[in-house]
Structure 1
Amino acid sequence: MYAWIARSEDEFLRQTSKFACCMRGRLKLGDFLLQDQLNFHFVGCAGEGTGHGPNESAEGNIFRTDKERRCLMNKSEVDQRIAERVHEMLDVFGSPDADVARLLCDRYPEKKTAFRIVPKAGATVSLSYGRLKERSVRLASGLTKLGLKPGDRIGTLMSKSEDYLVTLMAIWRLGAVYVPLFTAFAPPAIEMRLASSGAKLIVSDCAQRSKLEDLADALPGLRVAGSDYRPHGDLSLGDIEASGEPGGSAHVGGGDWPIIEVYTSGTTGKPKGVVVPLRGIAAFQAYAEFGLGLLPDDIFWNAADPGWAYGLYCGIIASLSVGVTSVIHGDKFTPEGTVDVLVRERVTNFTAAPTVYRSLRAHGIAEGQISLRCASSGGEPLTPDVNLWAPKALGTVVHDHYGQTEAGMLVNNHHHPALKRPITPGSMGHALPGWYMTVIDPDTHEPLEPGMPGILAADLTRSPLHWFQGYVAASEMNSERLSSDGRWYLTGDVAKYDDDGSFRFSSRSDDLIIMAGYRIGPFDVESVLSTHPAVREVAIVATPDAIRGEVIEAVVVLAQGFTPSDALSEELKQKVRADYGAHAYPRRVHYRDNLPKTPSGKIQRFVIRGELRSLKVPS
């Protein structure tokens, strides 16, 4: 177990003499380097009583023996050291001489493995930091020869491959701004993002090229480069790389330089552009260390697609920020394929959307087949049914995490041992260090007391990791996220917090149900229904009612082996009455084969509401 961060063993002993008095002789400086450039190390506690199995709880303490607890530094000292660590990250990524290529690639040993690339077919390929640097240097040089320059927008429509990773690093080495595009997008979604960002180049796989056929007239300044083909009229990624020079320095833009222009998932409306500055990487590294609990000897896999914020921020960038070996899988998601990768690559730290875990549960995993050190979930609230299954199937419970495209991760059930607490069903956890989260009144923006539902918000005067400055070419939408006085970042989600400071998600503000005076969050009811064996997925929405204002309706995707019936509908209603509250049971239950979702996997309740109100979903 890894409890503390220090620059050297001597400094550790010198600065923490009270702690060292009982631990001297039992401390062992880890062989694993957290940040080679910054000379930070994790310090392990070796000796009797320090083993920690995957299903055991650390109960919020860094140490577990009585002797260790008696000598534990007080909480304020721990909080101070964590705050110092956050500012150390900000100093590095916010520095005027910061450059992405050095911080995410060039500072690591050349032979160290950056990624294990698992293709659709064939053996796993290892990509070292040395090869990533060599290829991206040439490609950046070749892009410069094409006339591309710092600040230009460059998009990709590429599978998760070595070429994708090299292209991404070359874009940043050039000083250009990366525009991520999800490969499942249809042409209109691609065109909207390329047009809005003003992209000068898009790199496309052959399998995606047909989606770009009609863009020439709409986007006359856009050039196309083929990553794995040489069609007439297109540039070739291989030729661009081959034309580049082997030397050259990376662009130095400093902490405010833009590195990504990503678009929100459109859960409730039109996607909006978000520019991420280089200093935003500090927030992603803080999540890697505190939220995911990444250790340098981990084999890490974020199964989210890097065409979306969670896969890009907290997969590709987070792993590069701390230098762990990360897995990327080039094939589409299947439960059997995911299990195969977890086992074959010996993944120790895994994160994915709740849908992935529910699919794995439905598929079935033999006990002992997988043993993860850490498992995390993001993108949608984690329903309690997952952790009834996970300990035996995965070797650990799944920690629910919460974040947004405009911020990165904000609230987590943290894996870092100094912040780890027992998992409470329905809790998103506590604020990520570097963010001050609370719940405020939606009208007055005054902070609310524990247990009172309101808008989850970050106090920007106390949140140094904050980086979002507003939407691209949509300043009229900024009030959705930034209060007029500049104090609050508004998530738009309804939540409440407990006396211990842990947060509970209720709903997006526009998903909140108000029925007969009761304020009901869909997730609360969905969490109850998801534990029924017949329910694979469920969405709770409201439809208009002349008497109550709104009434609750449930749309259910059934698990294999179950069929719709009046008896089952009544059973589901009764479960909510018994396990949550008689006021909140669904008045009607609908069954369908799937739920409408964004390409990133978030349930689109507004689509379901529209369908129900138009009577398009039969009961």
Structure 2
Amino acid sequence: MTQTAPVPADHASVADTLDAWLTTFGDTDANAAELLVDRHDPSAVAFTTIDIDGDRLTTVDLTYGALADASKRFATALADLGVGRGDTVGVLMGKRSELVVSLLAIARLGAVYIPLFTAFAPPAIEMRLTAGAARVVITEPSQADKLDGIGGITTIVAGDQFDALVTGNDPVAESVSVGGDGSLILLFTSGTTGAPKGVPVPVRGLASFCCYMHYGLDVSADDVFWNAADPGWAYGLYYGILGPLALGRRNLLLHAGFSAELTARIIRELGVTNFAAAPTVYRTLSKDPSFTGFSLRRASSAGEPLTPDVIDWALSALQTEVRDHYGQTEHGMFINNHWHPDVAEPLVPGSMGKPMPGFAAGIVDGQIAIDVEQSPLMWFTGYLDAPDKTAARFTDDKKWYLTGDTGRVDEDGRYFFSARDDDVIIMAGYRIGPFDVESVLITHASVVDVAVVGRPDELRGEVLEAFVVLADGVVGSDELERELQQLVKTGFAAHAYPRTVHFVDSLPKTPSGKIQRFILRKQE
């Protein structure tokens, strides 16, 4: 059965704005470096980096002019290493200036940027570099040792080496135009079976990122905007780096870990007015009684459903609602409780909102789906070298893109999330595929079978739990549980370890041998 949300009357200004973005970013001669940095006022601030120096916050403004010059010089260095149009380059670093310079330099050469999350362990990094055929990796000192032992790559480390390559080279004479359909990013997303899937992001995808920044988040020229998400994942990369650059809106880049106290300091001292983060951040802040007395203009949440208690808390602590938004790596955000006055509607707790301008959605066989023909901002056409997985994302007639998430739409066109069909676990806004964790756990000599599921968690939304079948003669113990948790931390990612390990005699499976995770999720 297919349900399509009622289509509201279009605002002429909205339609004109969409057309302008689609024309600009979809042009056959579109030049990513020109669109992201060169066309902007060189004296305007693109990012403000924040570091912690003892008890002080130290900030540095990165102007478009400085980013343009540094990225042109670094592009020369990358070209000398053989990087050119269509080549891929991995970037393994946190929220620092070198990440932005690297992205822009890669774009100048018509090459493709592969983001690598800093919590990944070496096997997860190597898998993405190998699948993406990257020959050069740019990293920071704290991450460099993870690349030891990965053959066939050249490593550049932020600091003296990176700085010397910038200052010691002349700027490239011109930037490569790959056009709107040319690839800008290759971002890997996890599923439930097989290796993570590569999602090529074309230059024309910037149109949808601008649309969300403008209509979803309502980031204005006067805002002090802070998207706290990590750029190793879609939301942080799309709307913390690419979107701000494409739209010409400053973002804050904090090069430090999260804490409620630090978040409060930054909001107060830097005068943040527009804040975006995962529900986990808001839940953590809401449990700190000292986090109050703020007056934000906008607050937004994405990555997992937002619980009503956070909305109630925000009204008093932040003096604004926290509005929930929905999307996926394959297309970015597309159903939102929009903030911009042209499309904003009263917030209904529990609802993700309505389709964003440029997208049309519906319910197909119980799944939230995108009407491809009626969604000019949709840019996803398929996974990297995975035609079968790509085909599974679309209906047979190619009319609908299937999210794999079940939901419903009410008579007013508001969408509500129900559950995920693909068993991907969303913890603190990070999407974790069970297969990635299971693949590490099964390597332990004591493990003969394993399944990983997500369980509800008040703070993180979900946490991982593992159900492990042990080899004959092996007895489960607290020590073995800690050993398996550490194995995941070092073999996959520090954030993705199972908080609880259940030792069981067998796993529930279908006659064809598929694990029935829904049964495990129901077990106490």
TM-score range for the pair, normalised by the shorter chain length: 0.7 to 0.9
Look up the match of 1:227. 158
Give the SS at the match of 1:380: coil
- After TM superposition, where is structure 1 displaced by more than 3 Å over at least 4 residues in a row? 78-81, 265-270, 553-559, 596-619
1:170 matched to which residue of 2?
A: 105
- How far residue 510 of structure 1 moved from its aligned partner, in angstroms, is 4.2
Give the conservation status (yes or no) of the 8 Å contact 2:325–2:335.
Answer: yes
TM-score norm. by structure 2 comes to: 0.79
- Cα distance in 1 between the residues matched to 2:454 and 2:140: 40
Correspondence for 2:309: 385
Match of 1:338 among 251, 263, 276: 263
Aligned residue among 323, 327, 338 for 1:414: 338
Asked if residue 460 in structure 1 is aligned to residue 392 in structure 2, the reply is no
Q: 1:410 to 1:617 in 2, by over 3 A?
A: closer
- SS of the residue 2:11 aligns to: helix
Residue from 169, 187, 205 that aligns with 1:244: 169
* SS of 2:305 mapped into structure 1: coil
Match of 1:493 in 2: 405
SS across alignment from 1:127: strand
| Correspondences of 1:171-320 after superposition (within 5 Å) | 171-216=106-151, 220=152, 222-228=153-159, 236-246=161-171, 248-266=173-191, 270-320=195-245
Distance 2:175 2:207 in 1: 20
Distance 1:612 1:362 in 2: 39
1:167/1:133 Cα in 2 relative to 1: closer, same or farther (>3 Å)?
same
Change (3 A) 1:554 1:425: same
Q: Is the 8 A contact 1:308 1:600 kept in 2?
A: no
**One-letter code of the match for 1:309?**
A
The CA distance in 2 between the partners of 1:124 and 1:94, in whole Å, is: 35
Q: 1:505 aligns with which of 408, 412, 417?
A: 417
Change in CA separation of 1:507 and 1:250 when aligned onto 2, cut-off 3 Å: same
Match of 2:33 among 101, 118, 123: 101
Q: Aligned to 2:325, which of 390, 401, 407?
A: 401
Unaligned residue ranges in structure 2 (runs of 5+) = 1-7, 427-452, 460-484, 509-519
| Larger-gyration structure (1/2) | 1
Contact kept in structure 2, 1:150 and 1:251, CA below 8 Å? yes
The superposition leaves residues 303-351 of structure 1 with CA deviations (integer Å, 9 ceiling, x where unpaired) of: 1100001100111111112111110100111222222212221111111
Residue by residue, what CA displacement relative to the aligned partner does 1:183-206 show, whole Å, maximum 9, x if unpaired? 010011100000000002001111
| CA separation of 1:179 and 1:110: change in aligned 2, threshold 3 A | same
CA distance in 2, matches of 1:473, 1:156: 21
Q: Match of 1:124?
A: 59
| 2:297 is aligned with 1:373 | yes
Q: TM-score w.r.t. structure 1 length?
A: 0.68
The residue aligned with 2:69 is 134
Stretches of structure 1 that go unaligned for 5 or more consecutive residues are: 1-74, 230-235, 442-453, 513-521, 524-552, 560-593
Deviations 1:475-529 (A, max 9, x none): 12113312222111110000100111010000112459xxxxxxxxx99xxxxxx
The percent of aligned pairs where both chains have the same amino acid is 43
Cross-structure match for 2:384: 472
Q: Is the 8 A contact 1:611 1:617 kept in 2?
A: no
CA distance 1:422–1:245, shift in 2 (3 Å): same
User: Kindly tell me: are residues 250 and 425 of structure 1, through their superposed partners in 2, closer, same or farther at Cα, counting changes over 3 Å?
Assistant: same
Q: Which of the residues 345, 348, 351 maps onto 2:276?
A: 351
C-alpha distance in structure 2 between counterparts of 1:610 and 1:92, whole Å: 57
Q: Any idea what the Cα deviations from partners look like across 1:242-290, whole Å, max 9, x if unmatched? A: 3321351111111011000000144676311000010011011111111
Offset at residue 177 of structure 1 (A): 0.2
Q: Which residue of 2 aligns with 1:571?
A: none
Give the 3 Å change call, closer, same or farther, for CA 92–604 of structure 1 in structure 2. farther
> How far is the alpha carbon of 1:462 from its aligned partner?
0.5
SS at match of 1:295: coil
Q: Quote the residue 2:353 is aligned against.
A: 429
Whole-angstrom distance in 1 between the partners of 2:269 and 2:507: 48
Conserved? CA contact 2:192–2:423, under 8 Å: no
Paired with 1:82 and 1:171, the residues of 2 have a C-alpha distance of 32
Give the aligned residue type for 2:351. S
- Compute the displacement of 1:300 (Å): 0.9
d(CA) in 2 for partners of 1:141 and 1:392? 52
Which of 111, 127, 138 is the aligned partner of 2:43? 111
TM-superposed CA distance for 1:393, in Å, is 1.0
What's the Cα RMSD here?
3.1
- Aligned partners of 1:102, 1:469: CA distance in 2, in Å? 24
- How many correspondences in the alignment? 448
Change in 2 beyond 3 A, CA 1:468/1:366? closer
Kept in 1: contact 2:121–2:493 (CA 8 A): no
CA drift at 1:609: 13
Q: After TM superposition, give the deviation of residue 410 of structure 1 in Å.
A: 1.1
Shift of 1:130: 0.9
Deviations 1:117-174 (A, max 9, x none): 0014351111111111111111112211222111110111112111111111111112
One-letter amino acid of the counterpart of residue 418, structure 1: D
Q: Is the 8 A contact 1:355 1:601 kept in 2?
A: no
